[in-house]
């Protein structure tokens, strides 16, 4: 897909047969943004789990000429303060050769459209690496803002 050629991008809910591409995108994203090498088998099982149980969330993919060229995952967080549900954008990735074509903008727009159409959803959130200024700029252009929160975690590592 040459950069100068205008190709139609379709944004759609992911299907189980997209799991391989989604897993590959996640491996690439973790390496690119955090220098982390993910365990491909564990990652694939995690992707498959989303398709097996919608309580985990769902994926949207961007497709061009029958190939997946981007994805994001939506997960859910209940807010007792607001009596509503946040949708978290996670596993956001567009391969480098497809960037600067508005693909993430289209994925975000579809996520927002779906969120606004779903009763009880109060907004979209995502987290971004502190040094990923390109992504932060993109999110700001889409109308998102820094929430002022920092993310802390305790990770439990389980074998298998």
pLDDT tens digits, 18-75: 999 999 999 999 998 888 999 999 999 999 999 999 999 999 999 999 999 999 999 9
Domains of the chain by residue range: 9-141
Structure tokens at 107: 């994925």
Would the pTM of this model clear 0.85, i.e. be above it? yes
**CATH classification for the domain delimited by 9-141, as one of 3.40.50.300, 3.60.20.10, 2.60.120.260, 3.40.630.30:** 3.40.630.30
Q: DSSP letters along 25-71, please?
A: HHHHHHHHHH-----HHHHHHHHHHHHH-GGG-EEEEEEETTEEEEE
Distance between CA atoms of 22 and 26, rounded to whole angstroms?
6
Distance between CA atoms of 44 and 149, rounded to whole angstroms?
30
């Amino acid at each position: 897909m040459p950069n100068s050629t205008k190709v139609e991008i379709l944004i759609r809910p992911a299907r189980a047969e997209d799991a391989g591409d989604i897993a590959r995108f996640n491996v690439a994203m973790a390496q690119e943004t955090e220098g982390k090498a993910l365990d491909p088998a564990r990652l694939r099982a995690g992707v498959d789990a989303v398709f097996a149980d919608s309580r985990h969330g769902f994926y949207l993919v961007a497709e061009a000429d029958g190939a997946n060229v981007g994805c994001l995952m939506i997960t859910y967080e209940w807010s007792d303060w607001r009596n509503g549900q946040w949708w978290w954008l996670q596993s956001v990735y567009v391969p480098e050769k497809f960037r600067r074509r508005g693909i993430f903008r289209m994925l975000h727009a579809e996520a927002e459209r779906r969120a606004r159409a779903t009763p009880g959803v109060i907004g979209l959130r995502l987290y971004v690496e502190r040094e990923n200024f390109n992504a932060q700029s993109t999110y700001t252009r889409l109308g998102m803002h820094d929430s002022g929160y920092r993310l802390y975690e305790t990770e439990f590592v389980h074998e298998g």
